Structure 1
Amino acid sequence: MIGREEIEISEDKVADVFYAGDAPLNEASLYKLKSGPALAICFRLLNTDVHFVSLVRRILYETIYPPRDEAHDSESPWSPKTAFDRYKSYSPCKEEIWQHRKEEKVERKAGNLISLLPSREAIIEAIEASKNEKEQRKLQLLKTGNLEALAALNEKSDLNLATLASELSVVRLVLRLFVTLCNMEEEEEFVIDENEYFPPPGLLIPGFYAPPNDIAKTNGLAVLFPKLVRERVTPNPEFLPPHVLVLLEINKRYKAIETIAPYKHAIINMGIFEALSPYHSVHIAYTVKQFDTLDISSLNLDKLRLAFMMSMEVDVPLLHLMDLNPVFVSRDCATGEEECAAMFPVNYADDYDQFEDFN
């Protein structure tokens, strides 16, 4: 870990932090994010041969972890599941929130009272000290033969011990009475604001989020850890890595998604177009999932293409797509830059998760 920040996330900052990501930004998760500081952690992977984004996503979202205790059954909160499933929660209803607030108020009052009263340990120590003092005094009186003083000491010490024991019982009784009274008072004094906003119940609230692709990761680092980025990163002369355009027939869409899924980090942009060439295209859908929901009766399926804007920092992803016999591939990165720019404008998919096919 090379960076750790507690951040306040405002409405304006949400779009910046989660740009190109797949976090479920519903009413409940946004409400939770803005209700207090969020912890942002930056890790560094020393093995540069491993793709960091894929590794972290696999650890947090895909790996099934065994329960902490083998005795737990399948219904236990610690039954085998992914880290994401283990730490996610769902938005409670307003009655549950009010009840939780009542209980917190009672606990605070009880804690304040306990801090003012002598502790159980202090009373026990006092009793033991009194016993030891009594025994030492007895030995001295026996050595001197003062039997009258010895009898008086026995009577006095017994009274002191009885007083200390009584104090211990009183402490316990007072605490029990206090908790009972607090519960009764809360029912009468706790004010409920019916106009207070709460998110709808039952919405998913993730326990954490990790970027799903290099674009989201790079953006998150720049927004959350700008100092670390400035200290460690030398800006490239080009904003995007070298890239090419790949077009496949629409009937190969499912096979293409399955093939490229292990290398999704190499996809800069993707979409479905009606295209005779990169320079004569009409956008139809951002993803295969979105395309499958459309009425395609008016479309010419022979002209539909699944387009990928592929990074060429590593050529393995492109080689896998080549096995599907694409109808078009840029001849080099210089040409690919122009062809991709013709199909994918700068603001492409700003308002849509174009990587939902891989979720």
Structure 2
Amino acid sequence: MLSVEKAEVAHLLQESLSKMALTEDKGTDIRLMLQVMGGVLTETAFFFEEPDETLQAIYTKISAVLGCDAYEGDLPYWLDLDPVQIDSYTERGRVLARMAMEDWADCEFGFVDMLVMLTHHIMISWEEEGIPRAESFRLLIEYATRCMCFEVAAQELCDVLIEKKMGRDGWTLGDCLGGLSGAAGWRLAKLNLLHKKMDKDDARRPSDFDLEHLVTAMTTEAVRMGVPAGSDWRFGLAANDCPANPPLELLNGVEPYAQLFFSAIPMHDMRDQAVACAKAAGRMLAVLSTGDEPEIAHVIAKPLAMMAITETYQAFWVGY
């Protein structure tokens, strides 16, 4: 049975989920709430030794209490799975899960069961408002799975570069940062080139994805990992009329590992890949510029990352 304290945590968790998804014009945005919920489930899975298997087990439990499988058809084109937004709101859910787990540290399995029943309660209430449980369940899976992929990608890409490029090829942390930032900018340029070839009236054409939107994923991750926030990200960057100077050697050094990783996950969507690289760059920036003896001060490291992502994007996109 739930103790009074744990029951109160469950109640507060539901309230927090709703508040985190509030918008000025729509009230509680169900898609944003599902993204926060996806982050809660993902962070909960990370409390266990096999997070990916745990997340799948949580899906199975939710399916059992809902009495249905997730919707298996194609998602509509208008349902834009914006990876920057998904990363932002699922990360909020991860923070919420860590806070809630403080009162459940003695029983992680009980916390999972509570989340399953809370998810059931929320989705049944939505169904009464006309949103089929199978469809909301499908979106929850989409968001939670992406959240886990982004986290694993950020960590694995950083780890493999530190192990392989620094340990074997003599790279510095700054080189790793430049390569990851460049990989994000290159993918955005490639994405926009693909969009350019599609008819603007084509329903399958994804929404525009600009550089500033992608940069948000990198800067937010860096700040989340301890890099001081501020307006000094573009300090010392070259003027717009200067020729682009992308870190091609660093980009070429990163690409074999990035492509191998994205094939293994798998993560085929170019937008998702761009955000994963940007998130990894933000994390590498934190490794480089925080701590008692940072390798490079953050006021220098931040413009380096910004220059790499911007110059690479401009070289491959503006050049065409």
TM-score normalised by structure 2 residue count: 0.25
Structure with bigger gyration radius? 1
Q: Whose helix proportion is higher, 1 or 2? A: 2
Q: Whose strand proportion is higher, 1 or 2? A: 1
